[in-house]
């Protein structure tokens, strides 16, 4: 019986020594980037029926007008050197780690992307409508 009590005590001591009862520390919080402002740049991609395109002379401007913590909203403006030809309201979220972006646009298109630097983001746009399309948007903060 004494051997059983000694063995049990040894096991308990080993568990405590190994740290099995310690509490893991949470990851340090990440600063949420401030996306409010205008982000502009080129886009290139693929459109069903048209093929690959560089959307030459066209730009996209993502105007983030509001941000509440990790949720933001605004308007995407598509333009060329002469005029703007489409404005699409959008809303998005910033991932917990502070760099991934997920955006939904009015009409059904959506984007995912990353904050590459405080003044640079890259988005991958997907539209499942007809014709379907996909594009890469490389945007810099103005």
Average pLDDT over residues 86-101: 96
In a domain, 110, yes or no: yes
Encode pLDDT of 43-52 as tens digits.
Answer: 999 999 999 9
Q: Are 140 and 41 in contact (CB under 8 A)?
A: yes
Query: 25 pLDDT exceeds 60?
Result: no
2 pLDDT tier (thresholds 50, 70, 90): low
Q: Look up the domain containing 124 and give its range.
A: 37-141
Task: Please report whether residue 84 resides in a domain.
Answer: yes
Examine residue 18 and state whether it is found in any structural domain, yes or no: no
Q: What percent of the chain has pLDDT over 70?
A: 80
What is the three-class DSSP state of 138? strand
pLDDT of residue 1: 52
In a domain, 130, yes or no: yes
Residue 1 lies in a domain: no
**pLDDT of residue 102 exceeding 90:** yes
Closest Cα to residue 33, out of 128, 130, 111, 121?
121
**78 and 70 in contact (C-beta within 8 Å)?**
no
Higher pLDDT, 9 or 140: 140
Predicted confidence (pLDDT) per residue in 54-79, tens digit: 888 889 999 999 999 999 999 999 88
Residue 21 lies in a domain: no
Q: Quick one: pLDDT at residue 54?
A: 86
Q: For residue 28, what pLDDT is reported?
A: 63
* pLDDT for the residue numbered 58: 86
Asked, for residue 19, whether it belongs to a domain, the answer is: no
Residue by residue, DSSP assigns 1-70 as: -HHHHHHHHHHHHHHHHHTTTPPPPPPPPPPPP---EEEEE-EEEEETTTEEE--TTEEEEEEEEEEETT
Cβ–Cβ < 8 Å for 125, 43: yes
Number of domains in the chain: 1
Residue with tokens 């992307």: 113
pTM: 0.76
Q: What CATH number should be reported for the domain holding residue 41?
A: 2.40.128.20
Q: Is residue 2 part of a domain?
A: no
């Amino acid at each position: 019986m004494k051997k059983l009590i000694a063995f049990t005590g040894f096991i308990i001591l080993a568990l405590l020594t190994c740290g099995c009862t310690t509490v893991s520390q949470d990851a340090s919080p990440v600063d949420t980037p401030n996306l409010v402002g205008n982000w502009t740049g080129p886009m290139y991609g693929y459109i069903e029926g048209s093929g690959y395109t560089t959307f030459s002379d066209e730009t996209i401007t993502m105007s983030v007008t509001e941000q509440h913590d990790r949720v933001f909203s605004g308007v995407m403006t598509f333009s060329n050197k002469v005029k703007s030809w489409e404005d699409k309201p959008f809303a998005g979220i910033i991932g917990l780690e502070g760099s991934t972006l997920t955006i939904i646009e009015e009409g059904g298109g959506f984007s995912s992307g990353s904050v590459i630097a405080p003044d640079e983001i890259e988005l991958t746009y997907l539209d499942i409508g007809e014709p379907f399309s996909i594009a890469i948007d490389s945007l810099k903060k103005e």
